[in-house]
Amino acid sequence: MTVKKIENNDSNNVHLRIIEGASKLFLTKGIKCVRMDDIAHELGVSKRTIYEHFEDKDQLLRSCLTHLHRYTSDKILDHLRTNSRNTLDVLLTMYEVYFAIMNRVNKQFFIDLQKLPEIKQKNDRRERLNLHKFRHLMHKGIEEGLFREDINLDVLAYILHHDLKLITLEQQFKNQSAEELGKAFILFYLRGIATPKGQQIIEQFIDKLNKKENKQ
């Protein structure tokens, strides 16, 4: 996410750039250690300018989280417009975007979020909604012949949810790139519940990821 220096006094423009600058710092350094002074320095403005738009750090953080959620959703939608042909394509695209973004985020950001009750509660509600969408996609994938008919969607959704959180929060994975964790996640879970037809799509997707990594 590109953050530009504030160059004019347009209120909406300044408001958005403060959110972008603060989001960058929260994601790369964590929430707790970032001060309003740090955000002001990052943007090249006074703290007074920031307080003209946000009452305090908590309000700014909530605005940043909303912005980041929209940013992630927009990235996924952009990929889906060009890559989606079936339910498995949708899931793989979502995970590819998710883990690519996670690769640029300090785990401390997620650890700090867990210590903020109101924000954690809101995130938990959003995660429950995502689980509902996931079960719907999985059911559709079964109808398309991409996933096994004998899987328990409720159990699978629960396991996926908690293991994704484990990958996000556990420090033992700090030396592993998000792409590597995402690849292991896809191979272990999605390929395990896929039909031969679905497995073929997954193998093609993994080959594409490997070729992309080899070019970097």
Q: Which amino acid does the sequence have at 74? A: D
For residue 22, is pLDDT > 90?
Answer: yes
Distance CA 150, CA 116 (A): 39
pLDDT score at 61: 95
Lowest mean pLDDT across 36-45, 120-129, 177-186: 177-186
Q: Kindly tell me the burial class for residue 91, based on how many C-beta atoms sit within 10 Å of its own C-beta (0-12, 13-18, 19 or more).
A: buried
pLDDT score at 178: 67
Distance CA 199, CA 63 (A): 40
Q: What is the pTM of this model?
A: 0.74
Domain at 84-215: CATH architecture = Orthogonal Bundle (1.10)
Joined tokens for residue 110: 């997620």
Strand boundaries in 99-146, DSSP class E: none
Please work out, in degrees rounded to the nearest 5, the angle formed at the alpha carbon of residue 83 by the alpha carbons of 96 and 215.
Answer: 55
What does the mean pLDDT of the chain come to?
Answer: 83
Phi, psi of 79 (to 5 degrees): -70, -40
Is residue 133 within 8 Å of 94, Cβ to Cβ?
A: no
Taking CA atoms, 29 is separated from 51, 73, 113, 207, in Å, by 21, 23, 13, 33
* CATH code for the domain defined by 1-67: 1.10.357.10
Share of the chain above pLDDT 70, in %: 85
Joined tokens for residue 1: 């996410």
Structural domain boundaries in the chain: 1-67, 84-215
Q: What is the band of 167 on the pLDDT scale with cuts at 50, 70, 90? A: low
Joined tokens for residue 29: 């350094």
pLDDT score at 4: 42
